[in-house]
Amino acid sequence: MASIGQTAALELVRIAMPKNSEGTLDTPYDQYALPLDTQPMEAKSATELPSESNWQFEPKWDGFRCLVFRDESNVDLRAKSGKPLGRYFPEVVTFFRNIDADAFVIDGELVIEIEGHLAFDALQMRLHPAESRIRRLSAETPARFVMFDILATPSGKIVVEKPLSERRRLLEQFAKSLRSPKEIRLSPITFDRDLAKKWLEDSGPNGTDGVVAKRLDVSYLPGERAMRKVKRLRTADCVVGGFRYESDSNKVGSLLLGLFNKAGKLDHVGFTSTISDEQRPALTKQLERLRAPPGFTGKAPGGSSRWSTERSREWEPLKPELVVEVRFDHVTGQRFRHGTKIVRWRPDKRPDQCTFEQILP
């Protein structure tokens, strides 16, 4: 039985669906089967995979979440934010336009694979205003689409209210009809928790991003966190090469982390801001006593980019003496993609022992 929140989410979809003069659902081919602002079903973070028997497990792909809308010759790719992605991935639009179908809506992930590894930074390079560059990259490093759910079938029939077990069957039928393993693939699934745990252990840098668990008896719930995601978290010992003050404060806000490269230079690899208010005063005094340029002798933080601001370029360099162990979830371009979490300080560890070997695949 659906919860109040589930019922409300489905009702929003019903309201947005096109209706005929009698007020019943209709899906004319001059409109998409579902509105373009339909939100994907999301997942909440968990530390363990569920142990009950009514769950389906699949890899968490390291790419851009995407809903594909097709109606006759019209194809629209939408990011989780609702923004259009078709301009940046013309090869994917072309592939879905050439499918022999009337109308469908597919949920999945855009990925780019380079030398056998998923390359998230290659996806980010597509988000560029120059069409000529997008065209070149789409030929050099073509994106693929990994399907893991279906919201409307190739005939335009809306299936969001069907349970996942039925939607998966329909998705497998759709995938079988495509016969195109290079451009599109069906995400593997398992009902075996032990195999899912093995997938979780194998996830990490340049691979999948963890495991997603989905209830087999649940409808597709747009915008709701009705799934669970479990990531493999790893740790690394890093040198504190600098820090930033809190905004409008004289206390430390974040630590800038570094690892030594093969040339012996300290490269900036990320940050952590998981410092408790109780720790800030004493830690600030300790850091200020260690202030000394250059801090990072290799790649430094605050480099010029379209994302940087004057505030983001302000940082205090430190002598490379402090070592901290941090927990991270993923690495992109030899940097922690997200902020990290402090596990413990490592006074027993020499700074020169903090190298990139810790975070390589």
Cα of 322 vs its chain's centroid, Å: 31
- What's the CA gap between 85 and 236, in Å, rounded? 35
Structure tokens given for 264: 């012996």
Q: Pick the catalytic residue: 19, 44, 60, 182?
A: 60
Q: Which long-range contacts (CB under 8 A, 24 or more apart) does 75-83 make?
A: 76/32, 76/36, 77/110, 78/36, 78/38, 80/39, 80/40, 80/42, 82/36, 82/37, 82/39
One-letter amino acid identity for 304? S
Which residues, in sequence order, are CB contacts of 50 under 8 Å at separation 6+? 193, 213, 228
Q: Quote the CA–CA distance of 309 and 55 in Å, as a whole number.
A: 45
* Segment holding 256, helix H or strand E: strand 252-260
In the chain, alpha helices (H): 4-16, 90-97, 120-124, 131-140, 164-178, 193-202, 280-289
**283 and 239 in contact (C-beta within 8 Å)?**
no
Cβ 221 vs Cβ 250: under 8 Å? no
Number of neighbours of residue 339 by Cβ within 10 angstroms: 14
Query: What angle, rounded to 10 degrees, do the helices at 131-140 and 90-97 form?
Result: 70
* 294 preceded by a cis bond (ω within 30 of 0): yes
176 catalytic, yes or no? no
Catalytic residues: 60
